[in-house]
Amino acid sequence: MSDSNQIQAAEEVVVETITIDGNDVQGLFLSVDVFENIFTPIITGQIQLMETDGSAFIEKYEIEGNEPIQIKARGVGDKEFEFDGVLNGLRNKAENQQMTIYTFDFTSKEMRKNEEARITKSFKDTAPEEIVKEKM
């Protein structure tokens, strides 16, 4: 293993692959931050991608900020981590003369599923278990 892939602290990881909408963005990615909270059942984060004039990845693939994202990483002891979620909007776009840095938010698929589920009727006198069965 090369020195650049040596993990020296418990919080360090080596990002093996990152895809957005099935397209490899490993060469564009600057940083990725993943957030977990014991009080919420979802994972959120943000990813920064840097484009040069020549790549035009965002325009070429028409990335709008709602596409699927997959991240595979390796941590201490070669423990593998996989995240399968969705982009949740463009947070920032910083343009320089020859490059553009995009910051996208992302979240786990459960968050998107929760946002898409709508309750459109009354469930008066219905057991919670029955409501869940119907909505799932």
For 54, the domain range is 3-135
* 58 membership: H or E segment, kind and range: helix 57-60
Whether the Cβ atoms of residue 13 and residue 19 lie closer than 8 Å to each other = no
pLDDT in tens, 18-74: 999 999 999 899 999 989 888 888 899 999 999 987 778 888 889 999 999 999 998
CB proximity list for 38: less than 8 A, separation 6 or greater: none
Whether the Cβ atoms of residue 94 and residue 101 lie closer than 8 Å to each other = yes
> CATH number for the domain including 23?
2.40.10.10
- Hey, CA dihedral for 94, 63, 110, 122, is it positive or negative? positive
What pLDDT shows up at residue 18?
95
User: Coil, strand, or helix at residue 121?
Assistant: coil
Q: How far is CA 3 from the centre of its chain?
A: 27
Q: Which two tokens stand for residue 76?
A: 């201490």
Cα separation, 82 vs 58, in Å, equals 23
What pLDDT shows up at residue 124?
82
Cα–Cα distances (Å) from 104 to 29, 38, 56, 77, in that order, read 11, 23, 16, 30
CB proximity list for 83: less than 8 A, separation 6 or greater: 34, 43, 69, 70, 71, 72, 108
What pLDDT shows up at residue 44?
92
Count: domains in the chain: 1
Q: Which two tokens stand for residue 115?
A: 């946002």
What pTM does this model have?
A: 0.75
